[in-house]
Structure 1
């Protein structure tokens, strides 16, 4: 963690404490900072506060006033802050369950939501359960008990369902037309890699590390495995009638890794990793095709080996 970020986080905790007093039970940094992948100038800062009881609109508004970028300048691209009550943080629920959410920064659109009902469903309600899962694994405590004690992980079925929701949400985003390089497409590819790795290996990794782990999986895939075609559409990857993805064999294991054997997959992931270091990003269409393949892998029925 660089010194400007360290100072900022200390000031953020102090400012939050000035508003909440003894109600502030914990402050945690997650995201790229928690995963030891923070890049000054590129990364956001993800902070979760734990408050002893419901905030109320007046207190939540005062907290927003004290922590928004205009009052407390954020040295990163922006601050993404969420406040939870202890019982929500410890519950392992897939529901959003937050008291207030604040997005603010020099290069981030200002946004505040005073509870889940204040956030449009079209903007995604899966983020919070996934964020708390990352906090459970890799959160850094700025105040309060260790993050692994303050935040519970998701149940495997809930985790997979939220990851499926996340990939589908990204598939609904517009993409640049044509086959030319699309800035940001590399993050779409590597974010999908991270979903694959979390289900396949049971660990949250930074995006680039997740891409490299997927490449290692590809090298370990039998050469004679025939991957599925990359013409999957959202309709092809629908979940069962109850809306929940079908779990694969084993604890979180994917149904079939055969699609990794496709050279187009490995080339795309390698290009996306290079783009994070200044290389040319892939096209939006290529990223979209890859996301569909990851979605198909996450929602596929269990692979059954035939005997005899």
Structure 2
């Protein structure tokens, strides 16, 4: 039986058919080993923007398939063979025993990036910096969108607070360098990081930006400009003043460091 995409208001109409086919193909390759398929990122946080956002998906399998099966899965899901309607697909596969326990490691079996606006890449050795994966698993545990199988909170453990704060600090360092990141996304990532440290909950980027703009008037013009830019397609993103972006991210890093010290990290 081919699994049907579970109904969820969090799945935008523009990507529903794509995700249904992604689930079908993933099930066909993984067979009974497929445990869960979970929407994370902007899908989970209710801020998917067609033409701007990636589609972020976490897959959990048990047992871990051999490398040839993972390579087959990457080929089966890669654009344009499976045409991604979003800016790109970022899909990560974990073994169930790893996903079910808190960890600060990358830990993936497959990390696939593909799509019209993403460079094609399939990694199998979990050598990438771990912070992306730790944050995504935290989002998945908090509010992941169930696309197939076991519910996200049952399949994916939340990272420990110390490991998560370490990941958030590393994420802000990455965005401070700016390499390969749009300026608006760098600012909004900083907003989301600070709001998480203040509230213990992940917010959509634009919602987090509104909170920071209201609470921090010195940064309001930059944050509002970042939101306006984020609401445009990637190719039409507005330039932001580099020094202002760096100053904001330095402030954000200080706020995260304060949270880490308060938590004893």
Which residue of the partner structure matches residue 79 of structure 1? 89
What stretches of structure 2 of length at least 5 have no aligned partner?
A: 1-10
Which residue of the partner structure matches residue 222 of structure 1? none
Which residue of the partner structure matches residue 26 of structure 1? 36
> How many angstroms does 1:280 deviate by?
4.5
Whether the 8 Å CA contact 1:271–1:281 is kept in 2: the answer is: no
Which residue of the partner structure matches residue 172 of structure 2? 167
> How many angstroms does 1:70 deviate by?
2.4
1:274 pairs with 2:232: no
- 1:35 equivalent among 22, 40, 45: 45
Which residue of the partner structure matches residue 256 of structure 2? 298
Secondary structure, aligned partner of 1:62: helix
What stretches of structure 1 of length at least 5 have no aligned partner?
A: 176-182, 219-259, 304-308
Which residue of the partner structure matches residue 240 of structure 1? none
Alpha-carbon distance between aligned partners in 2 of 1:2 and 1:266, rounded to the nearest angstrom? 30
> How many angstroms does 1:131 deviate by?
0.3
**Residues 67-103 of structure 1: per-residue CA shift (max 9 Å, x gap):** 1012211110110000001111111211111101100
Whether the 8 Å CA contact 1:34–1:139 is kept in 2: the answer is: yes
Q: Given the two structures, how large is their TM-score scaled by the length of structure 2?
A: 0.87
> How many angstroms does 1:174 deviate by?
4.4
1:176-195, aligned counterparts within 5 Å?
184-195=182-193
Whether the 8 Å CA contact 2:192–2:209 is kept in 1: the answer is: yes
Identify, as 1 or 2, the structure richer in helix. Answer: 2
Secondary structure, aligned partner of 1:92: coil
> How many angstroms does 1:150 deviate by?
1.3
Change (3 A) 1:280 1:29: same
Secondary structure, aligned partner of 1:29: strand
Secondary structure, aligned partner of 1:84: strand
Secondary structure, aligned partner of 2:163: helix
Which residue of the partner structure matches residue 102 of structure 2? 92
1:139 pairs with 2:168: no
Alpha-carbon distance between aligned partners in 2 of 1:93 and 1:113, rounded to the nearest angstrom? 19
Alpha-carbon distance between aligned partners in 2 of 1:81 and 1:36, rounded to the nearest angstrom? 18
Alpha-carbon distance between aligned partners in 2 of 1:63 and 1:277, rounded to the nearest angstrom? 33
Bigger-Rg structure (1/2): 1
Whether the 8 Å CA contact 1:197–1:210 is kept in 2: the answer is: yes
Q: Given the two structures, how large is their TM-score scaled by the length of structure 1?
A: 0.76
Alpha-carbon distance between aligned partners in 2 of 1:152 and 1:17, rounded to the nearest angstrom? 22
Whether the 8 Å CA contact 2:33–2:63 is kept in 1: the answer is: yes
Aligned length: 247
- Greater CA drift, 276-285 or 15-24: 276-285
For the aligned residue pairs, the C-alpha RMSD in angstroms reads 1.9
- 2:59 equivalent among 49, 52, 76: 49
1:230-269, aligned counterparts within 5 Å?
260=216, 263-269=217-223
Whether the 8 Å CA contact 2:61–2:95 is kept in 1: the answer is: yes
- 1:62 equivalent among 55, 64, 72: 72
